[in-house]
Structure 1
Amino acid sequence: MPTQQRLIGDLRQVIENAEDLLNSTDRFRTGSYQSARDKLAQALAVANEELERFEEAQLARMIAATHEANVRCNDSTGEAKVLRAFH
């Protein structure tokens, strides 16, 4: 799923940029700056949760696909199963 991989990569980049922005504006903690920083921090927290959810779902799909391949190919040893996971 290249599209999903790209989405995850894009989300990681947005999170990194938002973290950089928060860090570089740390000294601006008054009035509208603080309000904007608070909104960005909240959005960043949501984005991190969403990224974690995407990554967990992707990992679960990979594990399931590997298991299905192990069953289909009659992989009975641990070595065979591990090798199948990397092919």
Structure 2
Amino acid sequence: MYRLNGDDKDQYIHLRQNSAGLIYDFKLSQRWKLNLIAGHTFSQRLETFNMDQKVPFEGFGKLNNRVANVYYRQNSFIFQGGISYEF
């Protein structure tokens, strides 16, 4: 979750994503590694809420009672790559 601050905005963004995929690690040399990830999201939701709709840590049952200001729901493919160095 991320908070949005502005002149007239006091909101927070909530992103929920469930995905599955494959991870491939390729060792380039003794300490360098190439990481590749490919997958698909089964459920992806991006919503914004007013700060007065925050749910306390004990009240997870009230998460679905909130009313979103902005709501996006779309599944997508995931592709990610990176290089890492081991110390």
Structures share a fold, TM > 0.5? no
Larger strand percent: 2
TM-score by length of 2: 0.19
Higher relative contact order (CA 8 A, sep 6+): 2
Larger helix percent: 1
TM-score by length of 1: 0.19
